[in-house]
């Protein structure tokens, strides 16, 4: 594998530089004096921001983009082997690194690299921990998988002591990392276009945990089924959070009129402290517990942690308030897995509303097919459901599945569900049928957010 010498900056080309993670890594390299170029399908606020900082961006992926003969090419799992830049790069003999391999090499430059993993909650927990470390004056370098307004984007270049990043299990990318502190929030079935089954996924997380050095620490949800299979044979310290018998245990959980939780958290020293959040949902209590446990390893005091969590307002596309139109509140959420949908809609039940409308855009054909009954059950928590076409993302095979299939499954459960092939039809339907004090949630990992934003522009 090609090894970067960060003391001697080179020219790095990013294939898909406009991605949320790739753009962040490009920005870090720019700050370290590297020459950066890259390509993407179209311009975005992320590519424009990189251009202003000195990156050269090409739109459209073609072999001519490599005319400057970069020293290294970085790519993601979304890049196909017949991509003209991928082919040309190999023909030119340019070395390649995956996005995860580059991130892993970056982590080695920091005293305390922290990797936050889990099927759900990575972006929120990473952002919570980031806010705590910022308030504590730790000057962390941050790589977040979403836009966190407190840092004005998804990346922050700080000092060389602490590096915080999300760690995604898809394609086993997090196995290229070098964490000193690892966090595992939860482990469930997902990405079944890559993993064989839940046992394959659990093994991947176990391998991630084994990356931690003897002087490192794993912070893990103790409620994960058979958690000892994940933590067994580890040489590092293990700290658990969750219900009874864990090191960090939340209790006395209550919600205000907007679904924001307050709770007590008892730590391994037996002391109990109270916390208040300004993000909704029970799941955020456990995200916060993971952040508190991790911050404790960095000697952040309770007062600072409490204040940081109370000021945390979430990240873009995580139960994000978008606005109101005709008395209708519009929320947007990134949930695209049945567990995430269930958690988000239960959080919505504690939010002021008359009727809960959920506009859901399924993400990938493989996920929709694998969890069809579970999607139907989770979405049925909403009062009324509207489906958009499946967002294919990296996939081309429909596997014989569509949003109409999901609509039929939801209707079998006796719930009101509509399907429209275009966003314009969905928007017109919502304008005609939503009424004052309804709560409208656009939900999914694709571009469904545009529906709510379009309504607010009307």
The span from the CA of 69 to the CA of 323, in Å, is: 47
What is the CB neighbour count within 10 angstroms for residue 172? 17
Q: Which residue has the tokens 């270049």?
A: 157
From 107, 98, 101, select the one nearest 140 (Cα to Cα). Answer: 107
Q: DSSP string of 92-133?
A: TT--EEEHHHHHHHHHTTSSEEEEEE-SS-HHHHHHHHHHHH
Q: What is the chain's Cα-based Rg?
A: 22
For residues 12 and 180, what is the distance between their CA atoms, to the nearest angstrom?
A: 27
Euclidean distance between CA atoms 170 and 352, whole angstroms: 36
Dihedral of CA atoms 237, 242, 246, 252 in degrees, nearest 10, equals 140
User: How far is it, in rounded angstroms, from Cα 234 to Cα 58?
Assistant: 45
| Cα–Cα dist 106/178, whole Å | 9
DSSP state at residue 270: S
Annotated catalytic sites, by residue?
Answer: 122-123, 166
Q: Which helix (H) or strand (E) holds 138?
A: none
């Amino acid at each position: 594998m090609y090894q970067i010498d960060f003391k001697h900056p080179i020219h790095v080309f990013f294939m898909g530089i406009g991605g949320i993670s790739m753009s962040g890594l490009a920005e870090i390299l720019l700050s370290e004096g590297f020459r950066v170029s890259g390509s993407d399908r179209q311009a975005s606020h992320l590519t424009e921001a990189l251009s202003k900082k000195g990156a050269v961006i090409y739109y459209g992926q073609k072999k001519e983009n490599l005319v400057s003969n970069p020293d290294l090419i970085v790519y993601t799992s979304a890049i196909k082997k017949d991509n003209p830049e991928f082919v040309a790069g190999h023909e030119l003999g340019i070395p390649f690194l995956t996005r995860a391999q580059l991130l892993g090499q970056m982590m080695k430059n920091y005293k305390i690299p922290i990797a936050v993993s889990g099927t759900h909650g990575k972006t929120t927990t990473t952002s919570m921990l980031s806010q705590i470390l910022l308030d504590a004056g730790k000057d962390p370098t941050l790589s977040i998988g979403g836009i966190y307004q407190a840092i004005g984007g998804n990346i922050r270049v700080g000092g060389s002591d602490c590096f915080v990043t999300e760690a995604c299990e898809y394609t086993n990318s997090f196995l290229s990392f070098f964490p000193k502190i690892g966090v595992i929030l939860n482990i469930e079935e997902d990405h079944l276009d890559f993993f064989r089954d839940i046992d394959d996924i659990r093994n991947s997380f176990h391998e991630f945990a084994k990356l931690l050095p003897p002087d490192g620490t794993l912070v893990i949800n103790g409620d994960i089924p058979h958690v000892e299979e994940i933590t067994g044979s580890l040489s590092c310290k293990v700290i658990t959070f969750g219900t009874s018998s864990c090191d960090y245990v939340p209790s006395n959980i209550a919600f205000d009129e907007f679904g924001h939780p307050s709770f007590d958290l008892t730590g391994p020293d037996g002391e109990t402290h109270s916390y208040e959040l300004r993000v909704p949902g029970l799941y955020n209590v456990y995200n916060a517990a993971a952040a508190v446990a991790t911050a404790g390893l960095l000697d952040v005091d309770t007062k600072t942690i409490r204040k940081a969590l109370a000021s945390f307002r979430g990240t873009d596309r995580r139960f994000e308030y978008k606005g109101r139109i005709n008395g209708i509140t519009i929320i947007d959420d990134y949930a695209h897995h049945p567990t995430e949908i269930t958690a988000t809609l239960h959080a919505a039940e504690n939010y002021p509303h008359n009727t809960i409308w959920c506009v859901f855009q399924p993400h990938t054909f493989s996920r929709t097919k694998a969890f069809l009954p579970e999607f139907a059950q989770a979405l049925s928590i909403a009062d009324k459901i509207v489906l958009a076409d499946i967002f294919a993302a990296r996939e081309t095979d429909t596997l014989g599945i569509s949003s109409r299939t999901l609509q039929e499954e939801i209707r079998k459960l006796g719930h009101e569900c509509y399907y429209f092939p275009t966003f314009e039809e969905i928007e017109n339907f919502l304008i005609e049928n939503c009424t004052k004090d309804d709560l409208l949630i656009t939900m999914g990992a694709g571009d469904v957010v545009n529906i709510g934003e379009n309504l607010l522009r009307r």
